[in-house]
């Protein structure tokens, strides 16, 4: 498992919300004296309901994004395999023939290299007698 770095966020995860309780605000009057009515420290019911709605919307968006990434990944795997159901037989056949053509080219290239090596050895051994074999 990879070592986690401080402050890093993995894909699909959000940073935790930094909620620091603030000092209660003391409204001042025109004369500069503080009033005795302070704002309550908690959230109202309407604010809590709105926060729940926002969180549900964010979770739904994340879920939809995750599902779309998964579908895209599955489509790419299917496309790589060449087993798509929408493609015709000729299209799948063309993909296979591309593999066959590449393999045949590799075989011809290797055979040519081996023949060149054999020809060079024949020249060195039989024609120029630089590499004498036997007696």
Residue spans per domain, the chain: 44-86, 87-135
| pTM summary value | 0.33
Q: Distance of CA 110 to CAs 63, 104, 106, 119, Å?
A: 52, 10, 6, 14
- Enclosing H/E stretch for 41: none
* Nearest CA-CA partner of 17 in 46, 66, 74, 55: 55
- Mean pLDDT, range 99-117, rounded to an integer: 96
Predicted confidence band of residue 131 (pLDDT cuts 50, 70, 90): confident
- Mean pLDDT, range 55-68, rounded to an integer: 93
Best mean pLDDT range from 27-36, 41-50, 94-103, 115-124: 115-124
pLDDT for the residue 88:
84
**DSSP letter (8 states) at residue 20:** -
Integer distance in angstroms from the first to the last C-alpha of the chain? 66
Mean pLDDT in the chain? 78
């Amino acid at each position: 498992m990879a070592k986690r770095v401080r402050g890093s966020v993995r894909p699909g995860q959000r940073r935790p919300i930094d909620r620091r309780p603030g000092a209660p605000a003391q409204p001042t009057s025109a004369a500069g004296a503080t009033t005795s009515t302070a704002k309550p420290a908690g959230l109202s019911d309407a604010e809590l309901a709105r926060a729940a709605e926002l969180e549900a919307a964010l979770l739904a968006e994340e879920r939809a994004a995750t599902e779309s990434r998964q579908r895209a990944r599955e489509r790419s795997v299917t496309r790589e395999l060449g087993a798509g159901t929408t493609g015709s037989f000729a299209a799948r056949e063309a993909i296979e023939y591309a593999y066959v053509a590449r393999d045949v080219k590799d075989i011809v290239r290797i055979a040519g290299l081996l023949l060149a090596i054999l020809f060079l050895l024949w020249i060195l051994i039989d024609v120029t007698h630089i590499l004498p074999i036997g007696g």
